[in-house]
Amino acid sequence: MLIATSKIQKPRSVVNSPQLPVLSSIKKDVARKKRKYERILSEESILVISVPGSFVGKTSQRVVVKEKRRKIKEIPFYRLKNILITSYGVSISSNLVKNCIEENIPIIFFDSYGRPYAHILSPQFPFYKLGMAQLSAVNDRNGIYLAKSFVEGKIRNQINLIKYYRKYKARKEFQFSQECEEGIGKMQALTQKLAELGKDNSLENLRPRIMNIEGQAASYYWSLIKYLLSNDVYFEGRERRSAIDLVNSLLNYGYGILYSQVYRSIILAGLNPNISFFA
């Protein structure tokens, strides 16, 4: 996107300002970062086709996207990492498929919920190596490490969020601050308990204990959220299915969007979403 600009004459007071060296340094840093990210984008990118009725083909060594027979984009194959089809009625040429196979560029189709339903890739595509590594991790210490890391990360994020709420509530609601202290202490104790697991055990045996720790931490967390919202909106606790109250309905909607984004990221990374370490 090009943005037209015009020169603006600066007042003398600004021109002679001692802050100009600082501003100049900031602009240089911003320009350097911009060049860095432009270089990253030029090396590899993801093409997303989201307009119904689009056509995706090839000409020479470039992918061509058309809408209503009008060419709207061209991208060299060497810059592409993935092609994502997120709309219905999209046409792709067989020549495009052949070139994508030769360049190891997967073409992935997603439904309106962000879930993949088809995947075009070469039989020699290297994704199988990641799948083998996932399977191997289930049966060794890596699986235990991953499962514990997922839960520890979730608990620590919950603790940090509660601390953030407490910082702004402490001045007005001393009792909420006290409840936070107790809840945070219990959650931190659970992270220590989690760290002590898995010294002489298998992931299969440890998974129920890890899930139990995660469940206890979630119980403490949502009880504090209930306390936090008690003066503003009805919320009796977390409900994942058939929820009719406002808070749970919004949470379930947000989690649904997040689920589709995470699922898509797993697929794009070449991992198998059916091989898990925690749930």
Please spell the DSSP secondary structure of 39-90, one letter per residue: HHHHH-EEEEE-STT-EEEEETTEEEEEETTEEEEEEEGGGEEEEEE-SSS-
Q: Which two tokens stand for residue 230?
A: 């008690």
Mean pLDDT across the stretch 229-254? 85
More confident residue, 253 or 183: 183
Domains of the chain and CATH, by start:
43-125 (3.100.10.20), 131-268 (1.20.120.920)
Neighbour count for residue 11 (Cβ, 10 Å): 9
The more confidently predicted of residues 83 and 17 is 83
Say what the pTM is: 0.64
Can you tell me the mean pLDDT for 254-264? Answer: 79
Q: Is the pLDDT of residue 9 over 50?
A: no
Question: How far is 13 from 208, CA to CA, in rounded Å?
Answer: 68
In sequence order, the 6+-apart residues with CB closer than 8 A to the CB of 206 are 144, 147, 197, 198
Select the more confidently predicted residue: 131 or 181: 181
Q: Give the per-residue pLDDT at 21.
A: 60
Best CA proximity match to 147, nearest among 45, 9, 278? 278
* Residue 228 neighbours by CB distance under 10 Å: 18
Which CB contacts under 8 angstroms, 24+ apart, belong to 227-235? 227/176, 227/179, 228/165, 228/169, 228/176
Identify the weakest region by mean pLDDT among 138-147, 164-173, 225-234: 164-173
- pLDDT attached to residue 10: 44
Condensed to tens digits (0 to 9), the pLDDT of residues 62-120 reads 999 999 989 999 999 988 888 999 888 999 999 999 999 888 888 989 887 777 888 88
CB 156 within 8 A of CB 191: yes
From the centroid of its chain, how far is CA 183? 28
The pLDDT of residue 12 is above 60: no
Flag whether pLDDT at 5 surpasses 70.
no
> What gap in Å lies between CA 148 and CA 139, rounded to an integer?
15
Cα distance between residue 279 and residue 277, in whole Å = 6
Full strand arrangement of the beta sheet holding 62-67: 70-76, 62-67, 55-59, 91-92
Half-sphere exposure of 12 (CA within 13 A, CB side): 0
* Degrees to nearest 5, angle at CA 210 with 205 and 211: 105
Q: Is the pLDDT of residue 257 over 60?
A: yes
